[in-house]
Amino acid sequence: MNKPRVICIGEILIDRFSEQPSESLQKVTSWQDFPGGAPANTACALAKLGISTTFIGCIAQDELGELLVNLLKDSGVDCTGVQRHHTAPTRTVYLVRDKTGNSKLVGFGGREPGEFADAYLCAELLPISLFQEVDWLVLGTLELAYPKSREAVYKAISLAKFYDKKIFVDINWNPMFWINIETAFQTIMELIKYVNFLKLTVDEAKFLFGTIKPKVIAQFFSNLKGVLVTAGESGCSYYLGEYEGNLPAFSVDVQNTTGAGDAFNAGIISQILKYGIHSLADPEIIRKIVTYASAVGTLTTMKLGAITSQPTLIEVEVFLSTHYLKRDSIS
């Protein structure tokens, strides 16, 4: 494997989707399992786009954990930093899909959110050499919900800062993961102080900042060099370098939206690596970067499975040559 360009740190898990579109858990009669977890999704998407990537996370010493590690490896992701927990299980999340393809997390199969292996990611076991090699550190906020993994996240941030790496955070807000929901807002806002690039949904932007304007959000923290706000079928808005803009969505038949944002993140990072960080001084290249990322995210919605649905480089190129953006976008 080539020297990794990106570390993705956080959770890898099983997404257990309802096979019947339903608004109620009680009406679901069968389920289908897919690998998932936002940082792992992004790692696999990056690898499929030709970016050498490594994943750091904690999984169980069980059959599901082995399956997930093999999936990462098969996707081309380096697993040097994967840790194993001998007693806590690999996380399974239950997701109910509605008729529009949107999914809602409804539980963890009767377990408490902090009982799973990913909550025990250990700071002392982080491979320091990986942080010396890469250009980017990518993470979400769910690992902040647990004391042990939160410590590991901040150790990773400290290493990234020490070695002058770019830090990209996707908020990925989900209250069901948090043990102490009252501390979530302040914990997340504290993390953003160390971040260079921030991606959040419209709802997350309203929740954290009271605005959906990326430039306004960037002004909350001087360290933010880029902010992306996604709005599903309404497209996205961005503030990168010193330029802001809105981008409509592509028009496609959506099967499931889980993992689309993670794939979008991979598209953004892969293109910044392609063009170089200096390219954020050019508004035309910035729009190319965001359009490419939108295509990667859109392709992921056209099949089930956050990882199994991710496109290759060639599939993205073909899609961009045959599909056009809608006229309406987020404003």
Task: With a cut of 90, say whether residue 263 has pLDDT above it.
Answer: yes
- Pick 268 or 23 by higher pLDDT: 268
- Return d(Cα 91, Cα 14) in angstroms, integer: 6
Residue 331 lies in a domain: no
> CB–CB of 143/171 below 8 Å?
no
Rounded Cα gap, residues 328 and 330, in angstroms: 7
- Measure the CA–CA gap between 184 and 38, rounded to whole angstroms: 18
Q: Is the pLDDT of residue 107 over 80?
A: yes
Q: Which two tokens stand for residue 302?
A: 């056209």
* Residue 196 neighbours by CB under 8 Å, 6+ apart: 166, 167, 168, 223, 224, 225, 226
Closest to 249 measured CA to CA, from 328, 309, 318: 328
Percentage above 90 pLDDT, the chain: 81
Which pLDDT score is estimated for 185? 97
The residue among 32, 34, 33, 42 whose CA lies nearest residue 8 is 42
Residue whose structure tokens are 């608004």: 23
Residue 325 scores a pLDDT above 90: no
Domain presence at residue 295: yes
**H helices present in the chain, as ranges:** 38-48, 63-74, 128-133, 147-162, 184-192, 202-209, 214-218, 260-275, 283-300, 313-322
Q: Are the beta carbons of 208 and 171 closer than 8 angstroms?
A: yes
pTM reported for the whole predicted model = 0.94
Report in angstroms the alpha-carbon separations of 326 from 91, 122, 252, 286. Answer: 37, 45, 10, 19
pLDDT at 72: 96
| pLDDT class of 129 with cuts at 50, 70, 90 | very high
Statement: residue 106 has pLDDT above 60? yes
The predicted pLDDT at position 331 comes to 54
Range of the domain at 139: 6-322
Mean pLDDT of 224-240: 97
> What's the pLDDT score for residue 276?
97
User: Is 169 a member of any domain?
Assistant: yes
CB 149 within 8 A of CB 118: yes
Answer whether residue 308 shows pLDDT above 90.
no
At residue 292, φ and ψ (nearest 5 deg) are -60, -45
Predicted local distance difference test score (pLDDT) of residue 324: 80
pLDDT of residue 56: 99
Q: Is the pLDDT assigned to residue 1 strictly greater than 70?
A: no
1 in any annotated domain = no
- Phi and psi dihedrals of 24, rounded to 5? -130, 135
In a domain, 240, yes or no: yes
- Looking at residue 27, what is its pLDDT? 77
Give the whole-angstrom CA distance, residue 282 versus residue 284: 6
Q: How many domains does the chain have?
A: 1
Q: How confident is the model at residue 305 (pLDDT cuts 50, 70, 90)?
A: confident
User: Span 118-146, mean pLDDT?
Assistant: 98
Q: Is residue 315 part of a domain?
A: yes
Q: Is residue 274 part of a domain?
A: yes
CA separation for the pair 256, 305 (Å, rounded): 8
CATH number at 289 reads: 3.40.1190.20
Residue 330 lies in a domain: no
Residue 327 has pLDDT above 80, yes or no: no
Our separate counts of H helices and E strands in the chain read: 10, 14
Q: What are 183-213's pLDDT values in tens digits? A: 999 999 999 999 999 999 999 999 999 999 9
Cα distance between residue 217 and residue 239, in whole Å: 9
Mean pLDDT of 234-252: 95
Query: To the nearest whole percent, how much of the chain has pLDDT over 70?
Result: 97
CB contact at 8 A, 224 and 189: no
Q: What pLDDT, on the 0 to 100 scale, is given for residue 329?
A: 54
Give per-residue pLDDT as tens, 277-300: 999 999 999 999 999 999 999 999
